C-alpha cells in the first residue's frame, strides 16, 4: 500500500469503526505540527522534515515517527513512540487506563494493543495524544539517541 486511503480501504471489517474513531480523536487532540502520512506501511503522525531535518535515525529523508495506527487480524495497535521515553507519561496512562477500562492493559514498550473494539478508551487516547508536542518529542528523541551512544 502506498497511501493512507489504500490502507483505510483495506482495513479488516472488525477494526474499521475503531480505526476511524481513533484517527478522529488523534486529529482533534494532537498538538499542532505533526503530519499524517503512511510510514512503514501504517498511518503515522510524524514530525515533518521541515521541523526536524535530521530525520529519523539521522536519515534526512525519513520523518521522525511519533504515533502509528495498525489494524492487525487479532488486535488493533497504537504505536506511541513518545510513551517509552517518558516514564511519568507512561505512569499517568497506566493509571488512567486502570480507572477507565475493565480489561487489563496489553502493552509493549511503545505498542498499546486492543483486542476488543468495545473496550478501546477513545477519549483517553485523545488525552494521551495532547500530552506531547512535536518539540517535546524531538527533545525526548534526541536525549534518548544521545543515551544510546
pLDDT at 86: 94
Average pLDDT, the chain: 95
* Alpha-carbon span 43 to 40, nearest angstrom: 8
Confidence of residue 146 (pLDDT cuts 50, 70, 90): confident
**pLDDT tens for each residue of 99-113:** 999 999 999 989 999
- Spatial CA neighbour of 54 closest among 133, 130, 139: 139
* Alpha-carbon span 80 to 116, nearest angstrom: 19
Quick check: 148 pLDDT over 70? Answer: no
Which region, left, alpha or beta, applies to residue 93 given φ > 0 means left and ψ of -120 to 50 means alpha? alpha
pLDDT at 42: 97
Q: Which residue has the higher pLDDT, 27 or 147?
A: 27
Quick check: 23 pLDDT over 90? Answer: yes
- Spatial CA neighbour of 29 closest among 96, 128, 121: 128
Structural domains in the chain? Answer: 28-140 (3.90.1150)
* Alpha-carbon span 142 to 124, nearest angstrom: 27
Our CA angle for 142, 57, 32, nearest 5°, is: 60
- Spatial CA neighbour of 53 closest among 138, 120, 132: 138
* Alpha-carbon span 97 to 125, nearest angstrom: 9
Cβ–Cβ < 8 Å for 69, 22: yes
Stretch 60-87: mean pLDDT: 95
Quick check: 44 pLDDT over 70? Answer: yes
pLDDT at 145: 82
Confidence of residue 11 (pLDDT cuts 50, 70, 90): very high
State pTM to two decimals: 0.94
pLDDT at 149: 60
Amino acid at each position: 500500500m502506498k497511501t493512507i486511503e489504500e490502507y483505510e480501504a483495506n482495513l479488516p471489517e472488525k477494526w474499521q469503526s475503531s480505526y476511524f474513531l481513533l484517527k478522529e480523536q488523534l486529529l482533534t487532540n494532537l498538538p499542532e505540527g505533526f503530519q499524517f502520512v503512511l510510514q512503514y506501511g501504517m498511518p503515522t503522525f510524524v514530525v515533518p522534515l521541515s521541523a526536524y531535518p535530521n530525520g529519523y535515525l539521522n536519515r534526512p529523508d525519513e520523518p521522525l515517527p511519533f504515533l502509528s495506527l495498525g489494524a492487525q487480524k487479532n488486535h488493533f495497535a497504537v504505536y506511541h513512540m513518545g510513551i517509552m521515553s517518558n516514564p511519568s507519561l507512561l505512569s499517568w496512562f497506566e493509571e488512567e487506563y486502570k480507572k477507565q477500562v475493565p480489561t487489563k492493559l496489553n502493552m509493549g514498550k511503545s505498542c498499546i494493543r486492543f483486542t476488543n473494539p468495545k473496550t478501546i478508551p477513545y477519549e483517553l487516547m485523545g488525552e494521551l495524544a495532547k500530552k506531547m508536542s512535536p518539540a517535546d518529542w524531538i527533545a525526548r528523541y534526541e536525549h534518548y539517541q544521545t543515551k544510546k551512544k
